[in-house]
Every structure is written in C-alpha cells, then in structure tokens.
C-alpha cells in the first residue's frame, strides 16, 4: 500500500510539472523559428538612405555646411553603415549653352561620393529627369542625355568613383509629377538612348541601369516592370520601385502581397530593391494620423505641409519602418533605401519650407533650430537594420506563428547571424525563439529599440542592452516590449 501511494504521488507530481510546463509554453504570444540552413535569398545588397546634394539656398539665407557638420554627418553614417545610398542630381544645372561644365555643381556632390567611395558603399546615381524629355511633344532631348552620360563618365572615369554601380534615369516616370508625365514609351526611348551613350563611352560594364523606379501603391503598375524586362534586357542590372504605403497597409501585412507581385514580375536572377520608402497616411483608416501630421507640420515654421512626415520624431516611425523592411525582405527584395537622410536636402512649397523626413537637419544650429540637428529616434532602428544586415548576407527562412503583431527576419553573414524581431502592438509580448540548424557562436548581442529602452552613448551610438546565449534547436523565451524592435546578432 505504501509503495502504491509513493508511485501515485510521483505520477501526480509529474502531471503537475507537465501541466506547469505546458502553461509556461502557452504564455508565449508567438513562436519564431529560424531555419539556419534554408536560404531564401543568396546575396543581399543591403539597406541605406537617400542622400542628395544639399539645397543650401533657403531663400532668405544661403548656408554652407561646416567641416564640423560634415564630420558629424560622417560619424553618424559610420555608426549606421549604409550599404546602399541613392544620390540624385539635375544634370541640367551643370549645362550652360548646351555645354557640360562638370565642375559647376561638383563641390556639393563631392563630399557625398567621397564618403561612399571611402566606405565601399554601393551608389545608385541618377538624374531627376528635368530637361531629359519633353512630355508635351513626346520627344527626348538627345543632347542633354548625351551630356548626362558624359557627366557620369566624368564621375566614374575621371574622378574614379567606382562606388557608382547603377544609374537611375528620370525619377518615378509613371507619375504625373514626373518629367515623362507617366508615358512609358517616352521613358523607354530616353533610357535606351542613354544606354547607347553608355556603351559608346564604354561605361556599360561599369554602370548598369536601375529601372523602372516607379512609385506604386497598388498592383496596377506591374506592366512597367514586365515591359522594362522585355525592352531593356541586359541593360538593367537592378530593378526597383518606390513605395509610400499607409500605416494600415503595412501593419496589416497587405503591403507584402502588393510588393511581392512586382518582385515576381522582374527576372529572378536580377536583384530588386526598394529604391525609396517612407510612410504616407493615404488610407481612410489612417485619417487620424494624417490630421495629426498636418497639425504638426503647420506648427513647425520650416516644415512643408504638403510633403513632410512629422512622425519621424516618434519612436513608432522606426517600428513601422522595420515592419515595412521585414516585408520587403520576405517578398524577395535585396535591399531598401529610406527617404531620407536629412531635412536640409530638399524644400517643397517655398525655398525654406523643407521636406521634413530625415533623421535630423544638419543645419539646425545654423538656421532651423538647435533641436532639429539632434538625432531622431528612428535613426537608431534603421541603423540597427543597416549595420547588422551587411552586403553579401544570405537571407534565411523564418516562420512566425501566433500573434500577427510579431514579425521576424534572419540572415547569415559569413559565419555570423542576425535575427530581428518586431512587435508592432502597444502591448508587451512574450515569444519563443527557435534557431534551428545553426553553426558557430551562440552568444548574441541584444539590442532593444523601444521608448525607454535604448542604450544610447553620446550623440548617436548604441550599445547592446544585453548578451544572451541562444540554445540552438530549442525554445528560447524572449520578452518584447510594446512597439519594439529587437535585434540579436553575432556580427562584429
């Protein structure tokens, strides 16, 4: 009888332990499984920023960027480590009486290209499109297109900027705001003529065309990608689109389905990137955000009401950008370029009404207000997702089950790994992370991007919040703060 009682007690305790273990597992809101040996994309080009020559003339004042500010820009970029930078110019600004003067605007461009060359950053260079075509007459300007090719030759062969790998002719050619006024054939004719000039200058092996560079919100412009593939063929070395989705579109996951359709329309063996990305509150569900965006812009003396994203001052914008990036990765894109680095680059309604979209305004102390020169929160989120997603990374298969507010990506770089997880909800979450079939070190640096959780050092740097030892092929329990990005990495 005594032996029976002991067996019964032991069995009861085991049931209690199993029940307790199951209840602990049930507390997890989601499970993220990373397959360390399943590669979904072989060669990631990396993430980066739009960085254009600065406006400098703001109507009532004309400014210069000091050496101290250039040093500040370079230091902040060095922490971010952008892998791809998009740089756009107006070639016509360097043309006088149908003659190219390549040095006319070069001093404003030089610091940008010097940085990219010295850090081996891939540059997608290009012309906004003004003066390259005449949409009313449906004609191309052959002389200006020739001079644009000569300007590229000057930069690549005379100034030795080998960082310039791709050329983007005419920004967002599908738009009514574009030089082509949405005319595909006009853009195609200009691009084909420009590429012919590249071949004559023997530049075609050094610089490839980036196309079609269209701005999309739905799946109604896919023909621009398929037509580019058929008409331009080997001239295109990189496909790209621009997206300015609404918050609801991204957070709901619909964004991935939209952009996947464009990726699948491009050749599988040619990479495709998100050439510009930012958020615009265009859907009715985001009307509250749009009203607040306008209110904030009106309250800011130098903010364009028509073209500013005033939520760049909020931590939540970094979470939304991470959410969008994760969906581009999962849709097969090889990189993502955010709009934009610095408010001081572009104005909208008047010379001093700036497009406020940046990580800062480097001329804040000089003119726009001291606080504007400070680093804004989303810089830290994007820095983690550029620094620890290097060029040449292999994207790994990730499966996330449970709460749809939890999203994740993972990559392998040489023998190191990065796992990034975002919690888009306004509640704390608990997850089980299962890194399967991994190699190498199991000690990961852990960075937490969330309000009140940043481990900031000085003007712009982040240090890890913690180090964790991940158990491979088993569950690792992680706490995710509300509206947070967690980056785990063994990359130095």
CATH number of the domain at 471, please.
2.60.40.1180
3-state SS assignment for residue 297: helix
Residues 373 and 442 in one domain: no
pLDDT over 60 at 111, yes or no: yes
Same domain, 256 and 273: yes
Q: What is the CA radius of gyration of the chain?
A: 25
Instruction: Kindly write down the DSSP assignment for every residue of 150-204, as one continuous string.
Output: HHHHIIIIIS--TTEEEEEESSSTTSTTSTTTT-HHHHHHHHHHHHHHHHHTT-T
Query: Where residue 215 falls among pLDDT bands split at 50, 70, 90?
Result: very high
Percent of the chain with pLDDT over 70: 95
Question: Alpha carbon of 379 to those of 182, 354, 355: distances in Å?
Answer: 33, 19, 17
pLDDT beyond 70 at 22: no
Concatenating the DSSP letter of every residue in 113-130 gives HHHHHHTT-EEEEEE--T
Q: How many distinct structural domains can be found in the chain?
A: 2
Instruction: Indicate if 366 and 466 belong to the same structural domain.
Output: no
Q: Are 400 and 31 in contact (CB under 8 A)?
A: yes
256 touches 290 (CB < 8 A) = no
Residue 91 and residue 144 in one domain: yes
Q: What is the pLDDT of residue 4?
A: 37
List Cα–Cα distances, 319 to 40, 159, 377, 440, in angstroms. 24, 39, 10, 30
Among 125, 263, 146, residue whose Cα is nearest residue 206:
125
Task: Provide the pLDDT confidence category of residue 20 given band limits of 50, 70 and 90.
Answer: very low
Tell whether 422 and 314 lie within a shared domain: no
pLDDT at 43 over 80: yes
Q: Are residues 36 and 65 in the same domain?
A: no
What is the sign of the dihedral through the CA atoms of 368, 372, 374 and 378? negative
How many whole angstroms separate alpha carbon 422 and alpha carbon 378? Answer: 14
Q: Is the dihedral of CA 420, 424, 427, 430 positive or negative?
A: negative
Residue 434 and residue 33 in contact, taking contact as beta carbons nearer than 8 Å:
yes
More confident residue, 5 or 237: 237
Among 320, 302, 295, which residue's Cα sits nearest to residue 382?
Answer: 320
Domain assignment present for residue 281? The answer is: yes
Which domain covers residue 35, as residue numbers?
28-40+392-489
Considering the domain architecture, whether residues 364 and 454 belong to the same structural domain is answered as no
pLDDT of residue 419 exceeding 90:
yes
pLDDT at 14: 39
- Cα–Cα dist 216/257, whole Å: 13
Residues 315, 291 share a domain: yes
Q: Are 82 and 207 found together in one domain?
A: yes
The three-class DSSP label of residue 50 is strand
* Predicted local distance difference test score (pLDDT) of residue 472: 87
pLDDT of res. 9: 35
Give residue 277's pLDDT.
98
Q: Does 190 reside within a domain? A: yes
408 and 296 in one domain? no
Identify the domain boundary among 361, 387, 413: 387
pLDDT for position 15: 35
Give the global pTM.
0.93
| 272 burial level (CB within 10 Å; 0-12, 13-18, 19+) | buried
% of the chain residues with pLDDT over 90: 91
Determine which helix (DSSP H) or strand (DSSP E) holds 249, and give its type and residue range: helix 247-251
Tell me, what's the pLDDT at 261?
Answer: 98
Average pLDDT over residues 375-393: 98
- Quickly state the pLDDT bin for 439 (edges 50, 70, 90): confident
In a domain? residue 4: no
- The answer on pLDDT for 23 being more than 80 is no
pLDDT range class, residue 55, cuts 50, 70, 90: very high
Give the model's pLDDT for residue 350. 84
């Amino acid at each position: 009888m005594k032996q029976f009682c002991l067996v019964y007690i032991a069995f009861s305790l085991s049931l209690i332990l199993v029940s307790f273990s199951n209840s602990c597992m049930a507390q997890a809101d989601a499970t993220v499984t990373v397959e360390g040996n399943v590669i979904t994309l072989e060669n990631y080009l990396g993430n980066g920023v739009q960085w254009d020559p600065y406006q400098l003339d703001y109507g009532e004042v004309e400014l210069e960027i000091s050496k101290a500010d250039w040093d500040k820009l370079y230091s902040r970029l060095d922490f971010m480590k952008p892998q791809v930078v998009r740089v756009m110019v107006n070639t016509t600004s360097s043309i006088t009486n149908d003659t190219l003067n390549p040095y006319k605007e070069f001093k404003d461009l030089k610091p940008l290209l010097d940085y990219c060359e010295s850090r081996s950053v891939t540059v997608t260079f290009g012309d906004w499109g003004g003066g390259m075509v005449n949409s009313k007459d449906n004609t191309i300007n052959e002389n200006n297109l020739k001079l644009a090719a000569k300007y590229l030759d000057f930069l690549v062969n005379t100034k030795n900027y080998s960082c310039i790998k791709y050329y983007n002719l005419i920004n967002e050619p599908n738009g009514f705001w574009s030089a082509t006024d949405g005319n595909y054939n006009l853009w195609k004719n200009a691009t084909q003529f420009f590429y012919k000039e590249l071949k004559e200058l023997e530049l075609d092996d050094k610089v490839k065309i980036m196309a079609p560079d269209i701005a999309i919100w739905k799946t109604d412009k896919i023909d621009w990608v398929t037509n580019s593939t058929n008409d331009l063929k080997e001239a295109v070395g990189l496909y790209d689109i621009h997206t300015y989705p609404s918050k609801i579109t991204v957070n709901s996951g619909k964004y991935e389905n939209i952009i996947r359709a464009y990726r699948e329309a491009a050749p599988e063996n040619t990479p495709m990137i998100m050439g510009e990305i930012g958020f615009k509150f265009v859907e009715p569900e985001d009307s509250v955000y749009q009203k607040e965006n306008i209110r904030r812009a009106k309250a800011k003396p130098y903010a364009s009401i028509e073209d500013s994203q005033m939520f760049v001052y909020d931590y939540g914008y970094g979470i939304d950008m991470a959410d969008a990036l994760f969906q581009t990765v999962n849709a097969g894109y090889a990189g993502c370029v955010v709009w934009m680095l610095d408010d001081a680059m572009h104005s909208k309604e008047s010379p001093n009404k700036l497009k406020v979209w940046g990580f800062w305004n480097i001329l804040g102390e000089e003119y726009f207000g001291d606080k504007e020169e400070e680093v804004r929160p989303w810089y830290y989120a994007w820095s983690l997702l550029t620094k620890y997603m290097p060029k040449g990374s292999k994207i790994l298969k990730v499966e996330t089950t449970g709460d749809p507010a939890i999203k994740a990506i993972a990559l392998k770089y040489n023998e190191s790994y990065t796992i990034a997880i975002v919690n888009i909800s306004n509640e704390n979450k608990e997850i089980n992370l299962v890194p399967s079939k991994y190699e190498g070190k199991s000690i990961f640096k852990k960075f937490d991007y969330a309000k009140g959780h940043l481990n900031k050092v000085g003007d712009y740097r982040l240090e890890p919040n913690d180090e964790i030892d991940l158990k491979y092929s088993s569950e690792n329990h992680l706490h995710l703060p509300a509206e947070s990005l967690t980056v785990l990495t063994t990359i130095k």
